[in-house]
Amino acid sequence: MDSIQTILAFIVTLGLLVSIHEYGHFWVARRCGIKVLRFSVGFGKPLFTWRDRQDTEYVIAAIPLGGYVKMLDEREGDVAEEERHLSFNSKPVLARIAVVAAGPIANFLLAIAALWIMYMIGIRALVPVVGEIAPGSLAAQSGIVSGAEIVAVDGRETRSWHDVNMALLRPVGESRSLDLSLRQFEKPSAAPYSVTVNIQSWLLGEEQPNPVRALGIAPWTPSVPAIIGKIVPDGAADKAGLRASDEIISMQGQPVTGWNEWVELIRENAGNELSVEVRRDGRLENLQLIPGEKELADGTKIGYIGAGSSPYSWPEEYIRDIRFGPVAALGVAAADTASLSTLMLDSLGKMVTGLVSVSNLSGPITIAKAAGASVKSGVESFLSFLAMLSVSLGVINLLPVPVLDGGHLLYHFVELLRGKPLSEKMQMFGMRIGLALILGIMFVALFNDLSRL
């Protein structure tokens, strides 16, 4: 069932993104007097087709990994004399630029619309309150203390841990100082204060960077009792005889005071046989537990047993409702879209120079899994994911790589400056290079997907 939901979420998400992108090209082409022959969502065998009054064929095809708008163009076939004025290549260069740019612009508008709706609906997010500080860490050296709320990073307001992470990802690979603005969470009336964190080659080359952890900060979490809530069948916990509702009293004679402490002890004892004392139905029992071992993305090996905590409630004061009226939400959505766009451009540039690992590239498998997870998490999560993916599609398509919209724009701007287009030979040469580059990137992204599986 989960697989079906993931596939459907992927198809709906990608179909929406492609439809909006291609509709941008289509809408502007029509306004510029260009005849559109076909509007296709997907590639391969057509599943559904129909035509409108202007004889444009609409297609929904079998492979939902893209789409295209085919326009009348003398470079792609014979055009009747009476229809030459309707061809793409006959239009002024500024009109052609508008048609090509309209696709990525439509993606940015979709992102703004998705975030606008999200902010009007409202989201509930965890307030970025600092929990434990690792001794000797950057956070400890700079004077960040437990219980402080991070209200801004380098002047960017941080309403949630998501905002903090996004702000801390911007200086990847850089060596400079970060300015963090904090306040005492327990004293809302207290004035904010600033600390400076000196970073060196920040998160350089990390495959799955965790900037908050890299600072030495653990987000604040409520005290959770060490009570088993869920057991994974055939996991280490199940094999040891642990049951739901068991309360962990001690391990190897060491008292266990909470769930977080229990998790840390398990992580540190992969493969070791442990004596665990539990309280079950009012009486104490001793069990023998051997945690399994798994390797994280950074190569660290940790223990795990296949058990979850019993349900617990998060204090309301640590949860923030982020909601705006229609006008304010539109402004915040536009600002977030612009911020995402610059972050992605910056990340792509750093990927080229080696400051960001290429293992961060994701392909259709990762996108599908993320789409499925966002749908399960609710409307707000899906809208946020849709906006991020739409911005990514818009930014990537504007890159000056032949085959992409950005490559076509490059050719048209060169024509605008020269007064005449580049030769067909030069354009085809660029297209071959662009195609090879895109295929290489797709191969790396798919390889990353399979590696993550």
Residues in the chain: 453
Residue 159 per-residue DSSP state: S
Burial zone of 268 (CB within 10 Å; 0-12 exposed, 13-18 middle, 19+ buried): exposed
Half-sphere exposure of residue 79, counting CA atoms within 13 Å on the CB side?
A: 19
Residue pair 401/407 in contact by the 8 Å Cβ criterion:
yes
Other beta carbons less than 10 A from residue 87's beta carbon: 19
How far is 33 from 31, CA to CA, in rounded Å?
5
Residue pair 47/60 in contact by the 8 Å Cβ criterion:
yes
Backbone φ and ψ of 102, nearest 5°: -65, -30
> Looking at this protein, which amino acid is placed at residue 300?
T
Strand, helix or coil for residue 190: coil
Torsion of CA 108, 18, 58, 8, to 10 degrees: -130
User: One of 22, 206, 277, 380 is an active-site residue; which one?
Assistant: 22
H helix runs in 149-210, sequence order: 161-169
Helices (H) and strands (E) in the chain, counts: 12, 18
Active site residue 22: yes
Half-sphere exposure of residue 298, counting CA atoms within 13 Å on the CB side?
A: 11
Backbone φ and ψ of 193, nearest 5°: -135, 160
- Of 149, 132, 134, give the one whose Cα is nearest residue 214: 134
3-state helix, strand, coil in the chain (%, to 5): 45, 25, 30
Category of 227 on φ-ψ map: left (φ > 0), alpha (ψ -120 to 50) or beta: beta
> Looking at this protein, which amino acid is placed at residue 279?
R
Burial zone of 54 (CB within 10 Å; 0-12 exposed, 13-18 middle, 19+ buried): exposed
- Of 150, 208, 142, 145, give the one whose Cα is nearest residue 183: 150
Residue pair 250/279 in contact by the 8 Å Cβ criterion:
no
| Residues annotated catalytic, as ranges | 22
